[in-house]
A and B are shown apart, each in its own frame.
Chain A
Amino acid sequence: MFYRESGDFSETYPADSQTFPIKFDRYRYYAVLVVAFLIIPFIINDYWANAILVPFLIYAIAAIGLNILVGYCGQVSLGTGGFMAVGAYACYKLMTTFPDVSIMFHILISGGITAAVVTLFGLPSLRIKGFYLAVATLAAQFFLVWLFNRVAWFYNYSASGQINAPDRTVFGHLVTGPNTDAWAKYMICLVFLTFAGIVARNLTRGSLGRKWSAIRDMDIAAEIIGVNPLSAKLSAFAISGFFIGISGALFFSVYLGAVEVGEAFGIQKSFLVLFMIIIGGLGSVFGSFAGAAFMVLLPVLLKNVLVGGLGWDTALAAHLEFVIVGALIIIFLIAEPHGLAQLWRVAKEKLRLWPFPH
């Protein structure tokens, strides 16, 4: 009743093949955009920006990037933390070397640099698969963290090895540094996320995305029907790396402002982003959003309820947080192994027929 397609006719091919062919879906998408762009920036405060929305948006970009590689192309990667570090350090070097160039370009170029590095580490994927590839990307993770710790050039020879984001503006508004307004931080991340979401959605619907899916489902069969594994796999690595690099650059410059590679981009980060896409749903752009929301928002929510609401001891709450998040992950995966995106799909199917399921 609420969600139906009867009476919703497409008169042209483009109308039929658009991203959201069902009118209700489309309007919901527009409504989300309106809320995100035109309402939230006016009501956001420092806490919501720094503790909740900015990390959510940035992790969503990283999850989209990883989902292209793991969810669409089937190449397991445990190097996300290291790849985000490449984006962060590239952004830092660019920001300090070319202070007059706009940060928007720096972030995009950081994405490009990360894409190149990730493609390099993606080369073994042409020969090895599955667990073995996961181990190769794990090596990338450790190598990159070691590199940024070891070579002082990357952190401009600072005493502690920390990198700090200087103040930078976009159209005269600060977007990095401590004096940034909450809405500016939020908006720059939102712009990049919207860009990433639209690009990813359209790529995965197009011929490239179909090649990736073919490789994921059975690479030998894909090769037989004419998919070039070299270009398909490496393009997945490159595009995935581009988004992960952007998220790393934003993570450092806009969100944290100061970063230490081992602490911010360690192996935990790789697993965190991987969990996001597994819980959200492999091979789904919506799943990347849902997974990032689940992993970023839930701990903050639990903390605020347990410590702020119930006044519990902080240590007890922190431990319980692990237990609850862990339990929820297990429950979700048992109830729906294909993640939150599949739950959403099932709910939509049900709503389509409701209230006459037979």
Chain B
Amino acid sequence: MKRLATVTVAAVMAAAPVMADLVFPSLSYRTGAYAAGGIPFADGYADYMTLLNERDGGIGGVMTRILECETGYNTEKGVECYEATKGEGSLVYQPLSTGITYQLIPKVTADNIPMHTMGYGRTSAANGKVFSNVFNYPANYWNGASLVVNHLLDLNGGDIKGKKVSLVYHNSGYGKEPIRTFEELAKKHGFELTLLAIDHPGQEQKSQWLQIRRERPDYVTMWGWGVMNQVAIQEAINIKFPMENFIGVWWSGSENAVLPAGDGAHGYKAITFHNVGSDFPVFGELAKYVVDAGKAAGAGDQIGTAIYNRGFYAAMLAAEAVKTAQKIHGVADITPAMMRDGMEALEITEAVMTDLGMPNFGPSFKVTCENHGGPGTGAVAQWDATNKKWSLISDFAGSDMSVIQPLIDADSAAYAAENGMEARCN
């Protein structure tokens, strides 16, 4: 009798696999004007999870499951995807769209599901006192803006007074986010900032580049995404703007942005908050367990590209947060609320990354209740058009938090006041 009961229980357990997996929704976009960025990220995210399943049998003995939903970078579809996936025990949302992030911030907070917006989204979410469920470690737009300016300072021996810098940005929440930081930094360092907005989807940029040609700025920096990136680089080549003075944010620093321009793009720079290339032990395991087994996501042709690495890194951080959550709560099959605790207690050290086969892939950092934003470090990568690869030309270094922190505090305080929220972490 007892045996029968055991068999029955086992059968029920086996018949209900939905309950015992770790669900990672992937709000991807493989279609539309931004697919060039959406595909590699989604592939990297999915491949890392597949690697964990194939190599380690999931995380802590529980298999992972990717729940993909196509948003097309459209907020309405993003809402539909969120509603469709949240009931399946989705652990963490990574929408890869600032517009969808803004939609989801109040929703995930109400539903107590964490959201990780790595290097995008609402920058002031770095303030964990206000944003309980939103994380944007290890770096955000404002760190990015400061990193660009720091690079300019390095190039000019620490003095960029009177230099002219143009910001070419996507005319949306994403592109507008860094403006305030750039304005503060322009005041601090005395450079002259010109703003050039480019409307969705970004194929029409002639007039902006004409203006750049006329005004001859010393440096151009870009907050672009999707098709806008490659058009901007081509336009810069057309007006013979020196590529080494053209610096993109990390979303403008992918192979898709520079490859169409061919040799002309040689020397183009972009900042990055994680390492580039596929020269890490983990990629060997990826080839063995995932690619050779025919289980790679998408077409499998993106491995090692900049944004693929970013998706891969995002999945790694999510998996590490799951491990932390499992440790805190002593349960293997965690809930979204436990995942949130795991993300808030996440600690990434060099030893952890080396163990994972990703030495020096990203910064070492520790998330706390107050700081959901991580260290905000980054490096500058430069495109080598002859060998068709990115290489780092600087070390990972910090950004100017004396400028950024007051901005984060002010913006998050405004959000808290608008929504009548109490500060956490006391």
Question: Do A and B make up one complex?
Answer: yes
Which residues of A are interface residues toward B (Cβ below 8 A)? Answer: 46-47, 50-51, 55, 96, 149, 158-162, 164, 166-167, 177-179, 255-260, 262-264, 266, 300, 303-304, 307-308, 314-315, 317-319
Assuming A177-B106, A258-B103, is B176 touching A314 (CB within 8 A)? no
20 more contacts with CB within 8 A, not counting A160-B98, A300-B80, are A46-B83, A47-B83, A51-B80, A149-B171, A149-B197, A162-B102, A162-B173, A164-B102, A164-B418, A178-B109, A257-B106, A258-B106, A260-B173, A262-B172, A263-B172, A303-B70, A314-B30, A315-B30, A315-B35, A319-B31
- Tell me the minimal C-beta distance from B132 to chain A in angstroms: 13
From A96, A160, A266, give the contact of B102 (CB < 8 A): A160
B30 touches A47 (CB 8 A): no
19 pairs of residues in contact across A and B, judged by CB atoms under 8 Å: A96-B418, A158-B411, A158-B414, A159-B180, A159-B411, A160-B122, A257-B103, A258-B75, A258-B99, A258-B102, A258-B103, A260-B75, A262-B171, A262-B172, A263-B99, A264-B75, A307-B69, A315-B39, A315-B298
- Which chain A residue has the least Cβ–Cβ distance from B78? A256
- Tell me which residues across on chain B come within 8 A of A164, comparing CB atoms: 102, 106, 418
Majority SS of interface residues in chain B?
helix
- Tell me which residues across on chain B come within 8 A of A317, comparing CB atoms: 70
User: Which chain B residues (385-419) contact chain A, with CB distance < 8 Å?
Assistant: 407, 411, 414, 418-419
- Tell me the minimal C-beta distance from B92 to chain A in angstroms: 17
CA of A256 to CA of B101, assembled, Å? 12
- Tell me the minimal C-beta distance from A322 to chain B in angstroms: 8
CA of A149 to CA of B70, assembled, Å? 27
- Which chain B residue has the least Cβ–Cβ distance from A167? B419
A161 touches B83 (CB 8 A): no
- Which chain B residue has the least Cβ–Cβ distance from A149? B171
Assuming A51-B84, A160-B173, A162-B173, is B70 touching A256 (CB within 8 A)? no
Assuming A166-B418, A262-B200, A314-B69, is B84 touching A161 (CB within 8 A)? no
CA of A96 to CA of B414, assembled, Å? 13
B255 near A: Cβ within 8 Å?
Answer: no
Assuming A315-B70, A318-B31, is B106 touching A159 (CB within 8 A)? no
B204 near A: Cβ within 8 Å?
Answer: no
User: Which chain B residues (86-127) contact chain A, with CB distance < 8 Å?
Assistant: 86-87, 98-99, 102-103, 105-107, 109-111, 122-124
- Tell me the minimal C-beta distance from A63 to chain B in angstroms: 16
Interface pairs A-B: 10 shortest CB-CB:
A315-B30, A178-B106, A160-B173, A178-B110, A51-B80, A314-B70, A258-B102, A318-B70, A47-B83, A318-B31
CA of A160 to CA of B411, assembled, Å? 10
User: Which chain B residues (179-196) contact chain A, with CB distance < 8 Å?
Assistant: 179-180
- Which chain B residue has the least Cβ–Cβ distance from A319? B31
Residue from B87, B98, B106, B124 whose CB has the most chain A CB atoms within 10 Å:
B106
From B31, B110, B177, B418, give the contact of A315 (CB < 8 A): B31
User: Which chain B residues (26-67) contact chain A, with CB distance < 8 Å?
Assistant: 28, 30-31, 35, 39
- Tell me the minimal C-beta distance from B268 to chain A in angstroms: 26
- Tell me which residues across on chain A come within 8 A of B107, comparing CB atoms: 178, 257
CA of A173 to CA of B31, assembled, Å? 39
- Which chain A residue has the least Cβ–Cβ distance from B170? A262
B122 touches A55 (CB 8 A): no
- Tell me the minimal C-beta distance from A170 to chain B in angstroms: 18
From A47, A256, A303, give the contact of B75 (CB < 8 A): A256
- Tell me the minimal C-beta distance from A81 to chain B in angstroms: 12
- Tell me the minimal C-beta distance from B397 to chain A in angstroms: 24
CA of A170 to CA of B53, assembled, Å? 49
CA of A51 to CA of B163, assembled, Å? 49
B215 near A: Cβ within 8 Å?
Answer: no
- Tell me the minimal C-beta distance from A288 to chain B in angstroms: 19
A263 touches B75 (CB 8 A): yes
- Tell me the minimal C-beta distance from B228 to chain A in angstroms: 13
- Which chain A residue has the least Cβ–Cβ distance from B111? A178
- Tell me which residues across on chain B come within 8 A of A162, comparing CB atoms: 99, 102, 173
CA of A256 to CA of B105, assembled, Å? 12
- Tell me which residues across on chain B come within 8 A of A166, comparing CB atoms: 418-419
- Tell me which residues across on chain B come within 8 A of A158, comparing CB atoms: 411, 414
B76 near A: Cβ within 8 Å?
Answer: yes
A161 touches B69 (CB 8 A): no
- Tell me the minimal C-beta distance from B34 to chain A in angstroms: 11
A256 touches B79 (CB 8 A): yes
A161 touches B110 (CB 8 A): no
B285 near A: Cβ within 8 Å?
Answer: no
CA of A193 to CA of B223, assembled, Å? 40
- Which chain B residue has the least Cβ–Cβ distance from A142? B199
CA of A314 to CA of B25, assembled, Å? 13
